[in-house]
Amino acid sequence: MAVMTYAQAAALALAEAMRADPNVVALGEDLGRGGVFGQYRGLQQEFGGGRVIDTPISEANIMGAAVGMALAGLRPVVEMRVIDFALCAIDEIINQAAKNRFMFGGQGRVPLVARLPIGIWSASAAQHSQSLEAWFAHIPGLVVVTPATPQDNYSLLKAALRSGDPVVYMEHKELWGSEGEVDRDARIELGSARTARAGKDLTVVTWSRAVQPCLDAAEALAGQGVSAEVIDLRSLWPWDREAVLASARRTGRLLVVHEAVQAAGFGAEVVATVAEALAIPVRRVGAPRIPVGYSRPLEDVSRLSVEKIVHAAKSLF
């Protein structure tokens, strides 16, 4: 295994997919210079401007072109820079990509991967720091993926590229430089959660950048005699109900933690599913329903913290 960053892992996965399949292409703004976060570094130099395509600044145009490419037999990777900008392409994602297979009886497929980086981006304020994964998990026809580690960013991007359906692929804006070991032979299926830490007293379900503060909180809780199991969903649709229910059944308590606004967040879906099946104590932790502030004190109001997670966990006992 090699140690690499989250960005390098994604670039490697895409490069390998492009070498294996000439129908895999990438399009978006600034890909020729490696992308905003270096997630395309070196790819245009290897594959040329015909397969790693620099586009005008028009998200609707970019996504619309990608939907057409996919219907014509290509497998496009669509770069939206950040999820906030992808809102300009919402019609193409939701009304075109997501619905085509259903509306035309399976005659057309849209096997594209839309990279929509989510999450707070330090000092980038309200229009560059949103976590909107629940929007897309709500839409029939879309697969929704939220990798938290370099290994997952490598293996899940490859899984997304194998999918025959449109995948909303949500990397976190502040994970690009994080490092970890990557096993290039590891295959991870969409909809498969991982147990990031085993425990017996409490199940903590999370995803994306929230995984690390949850692990830190679990360590703090261990010092107080509470054994917390941390589950990283990795995919929000499909999500691994069986793994979550099995863990919650053993521990008897559930806490769901996400960086997105708590109101109507995807955590509510997990909590409701577990409560309906098991009738155990459940709790959520998410951001308040306010825009992310530019100043650090305001930004911190929207950020997760170990203290917030620990406090919520202890309230379940």
Q: Mean per-residue pLDDT for 134-151?
A: 98
Q: Which of 128, 172, 258, 311 is catalytic?
A: 128
311 an active-site residue?
no
Q: What is the pLDDT of residue 165?
A: 97
- Residue 130 sits in a domain whose CATH number is 3.40.50.970
Q: How would DSSP label each residue in 280-311?
A: --EEEEEE-SSPPPSSHHHHHHHS--HHHHHH
pLDDT of 210 strictly over 90: yes
Domain that holds residue 158: 2-182
Q: Which one-letter DSSP state was computed for residue 137?
A: H
Q: Which residue among 182, 212, 234 closes a domain?
A: 182
187 domain residue, yes or no = no
Q: Is the per-residue pLDDT at 59 higher than 90? A: yes
Question: Do 151 and 46 fall into the same domain?
Answer: yes
* DSSP code for 70: H
Same domain, 200 and 78: no
The predicted model gives 201-227 an average pLDDT of: 98
**Domain shared by 237 and 280, yes or no:** yes
* CATH number of 279's domain: 3.40.50.920
pLDDT at position 1, please? 87
47 plus 159 within the same structural domain: yes
> Does residue 189 lie in a domain region?
no
Q: Which residues contact residue 145 at a Cβ distance below 8 angstroms, ignoring those fewer than 6 apart?
A: 156, 159, 160, 167, 168, 169, 170, 190, 234, 235, 236
Mean pLDDT to the nearest integer, 258-277: 98
> Do residue 146 and residue 52 come from a single domain?
yes
Q: Domain boundary at 148, 182, 216, which? A: 182
Pairing mode of beta strands 202-206, 52-54:
unpaired
pLDDT value at position 206?
Answer: 98
Find the mean pLDDT for residues 11-15.
98
